[in-house]
């Protein structure tokens, strides 16, 4: 049963990452259109911030001693 719960934990994390990336990319495209940037700065920066924050969260969560 523990392995099954562990699988759902990773499934949840991956679905949150995919949803977050889609939102960040869509938001970045809208910001780039609004400010009329020649290069897609926000489209690159928003997902990058999400990925960095997720990696930090994973490191903190997995390094906690029980």
Is residue 26 predicted with pLDDT exceeding 80?
yes
H-helix or E-strand containing 32? helix 2-35
For the chain, the domains span: 2-63
The answer to whether 25 and 46 have CB atoms below 8 angstroms apart is yes
Q: What are the backbone angles phi and psi of residue 40, rounded to the nearest 5°?
A: -75, 70
Distance separating alpha carbons of residues 6 and 61, to the nearest angstrom: 14
The answer to whether 29 and 40 have CB atoms below 8 angstroms apart is yes
Q: pLDDT of 1-22, one tens digit each?
A: 566 667 777 788 888 899 999 9
Q: Write down the mean pLDDT value for the chain.
A: 87
> What pTM was computed for the model?
0.77
């Amino acid at each position: 049963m523990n392995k099954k719960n562990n699988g759902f934990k990773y499934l949840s994390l991956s679905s949150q990452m995919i949803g977050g990336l889609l939102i960040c990319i869509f938001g970045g495209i809208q910001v780039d259109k609004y400010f009329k940037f020649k290069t897609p700065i926000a489209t690159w920066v928003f997902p990058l911030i999400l990925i960095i924050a997720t990696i930090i969260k994973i490191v903190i969560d997995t390094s906690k001693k029980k």
